Amino acid sequence: CPTSPTAPLAFTMLQLTRVYMGNSMFRGNASLNGQLSHLLEEHNVTQVLPLEPPDAWARRQSEVIAYLQNFRQLVQLFNKERPTKFTQHLCCHLGCRLFPNGTAQSFYEVTLNRTAFLSFHVPSATWERRWPGELPVAAFAQEQLMKYPITTQDLQYFLNTTCVGILQAQSVRTGKVSGRSRAPLVLGLILGSLALLGMALGIFLCTRGS
């Protein structure tokens, strides 16, 4: 869709994971100001916009693929110890918006089985439970995500500084992507994956496969 001069610029990422009987399926994408920049289908991660040179993108791509393989192996391990016959749907949606007056807003939202599960409060770098009512899994996942700098301070820095910097560079180039925006794009995908891993651990450990 064409953007209005008064509309905010946006950089958003979406990762969807479906877990069923030890199998994991991945889908996702990233977009910069409405343009698709990255695409995730199973273990295939592609750069749609030429934001990184081939050698740099090859390194980033291998990092994401390695994470997905580790995630899949972890789920298989849990399934052998605690077999499950129900499906889990995890969705991570994160990014930032830059408004014409220079203010910015960042967000990170997580749903479990299409219900609000957790959200990341960026100013305080804290995870908050969104699940309606009490749920041990939500409390456990929140506790796990609060333990690690990469899912708290590092994520806060990415959303507040790196993500907003991408949009600031975009705004001054009047539609052309600045070179400064190259490396952080895949960093965001990896951060989303690590947060997802923390929740997966919480879900499988807390439910004990039930």
Chain segment 28-50, per-residue pLDDT in tens: 998 988 889 889 998 888 889 87
Give pLDDT, residue 176.
Answer: 45
Q: Report pTM.
A: 0.76
- The residues, ordered by sequence, that sit 6+ positions from 87 with a Cβ below 8 Å of its Cβ are 18, 19, 20
Task: Give the C-alpha separation, 81 to 84, whole Å.
Answer: 10
- The residues, ordered by sequence, that sit 6+ positions from 69 with a Cβ below 8 Å of its Cβ are 43
pLDDT > 90? residue 107: yes
Determine contact, residues 132/176, Cβ cutoff 8 Å: no
CATH topology of domain 9-174+189-206: 3.30.500
